[in-house]
Amino acid sequence: MPKTLLDEILEPGGLTVSFQPIYRLSGEVDLELAMAEGLARGPSHTTASDAAILFEYVRRKREEIRVDRVCIAAALEAARELPVELSVALNVHSSTLERDVDFPSFLEESLSEAEISGERVLLEIVQATTSYDGHRFKRALERLRAIGVGFAIDDFGAGCVSCLTLLEVRPEILKLDRALVKGLHRDPMRFAIVGSIISMAGKIEAQVVAEGVDHERDLEALRELEVDYVQGFLLARPGPAASVTSSRQRPEPRAVPVRARP
């Protein structure tokens, strides 16, 4: 039986993980390093080396649970080399939280093995489908919150994310989809929409990360809108954990604790 792409992804060493820095834009120090997002890529000789292909393929095969686990284990292992003060953002599908009832235990064990505390972890929830079992999903969130993990809604403003997701997750962070950020400086409607999301986030006590910041003028527009955090090629490309401190800005890293909820 020839190897499938999934076999290659799941093989030991099949995935590589890089980290992209996330900077605080609205703090006392301009562009202060705050978090690092772990980004998994498939084997370099396959089409899954392109993250979009990797995760589309995994979702089509309905293998999010197995692949999310392998990605997270690999990311946590690699995250050992990050400065201990930084928060670590990891992606997980909402379908994994719903269907993988042992995921909270798995994460707790993985964190223990990597000697990383739950309080340092921000789980970015990727919602690729609109239907899910709300009860099981919420139960998973509760168990994860109990170990100190915080939550972000990934790709906010695009795809399948609805406002009901906000009500269920009560996230600490909204990650603005890059499609909204690109060209922000020259599109008044985009500027108005992003401004409204930032305003809404403030009212629900969430902070906003703008992804896909690739141009200086978009960064300036985000500064004008007082977005909390920025992430993008303009500031730093993804790289090995050890490179995270050598990105565009080199301030003393400071912890950005994910706000605990009662």
Residues that bind other proteins (CB under 8 A): 2, 4-5, 47, 50, 52-53, 56-57, 60-61
Shortest spacing between CB 142 and other proteins, in angstroms: 33
Shortest spacing between CB 63 and other proteins, in angstroms: 9
* Token pair belonging to 161: 């994310």
- CA dist 172 and 168 (Å) reads 12
**Residue placing its CB nearer to other proteins in the complex, 50 or 224:** 50
Shortest spacing between CB 1 and other proteins, in angstroms: 10
* Token pair belonging to 128: 């690729």
- 3 Cβ partners below 8 Å, 6+ apart? none
**Residue placing its CB nearer to other proteins in the complex, 177 or 218:** 177
**Residue placing its CB nearer to other proteins in the complex, 41 or 190:** 41
Helix, strand, coil distribution of the chain in percent, nearest 5: 45, 20, 35
**Residue placing its CB nearer to other proteins in the complex, 60 or 203:** 60
**Residue placing its CB nearer to other proteins in the complex, 6 or 114:** 6
Q: What angle do the packed helices 64-79 and 51-60 form, to 10 degrees? A: 140
- 21 Cβ partners below 8 Å, 6+ apart? 33, 35, 36, 231, 235, 236, 244, 247
Shortest spacing between CB 53 and other proteins, in angstroms: 5
- CA dist 53 and 88 (Å) reads 24
- 57 Cβ partners below 8 Å, 6+ apart? 5, 6, 47, 48
Shortest spacing between CB 173 and other proteins, in angstroms: 26
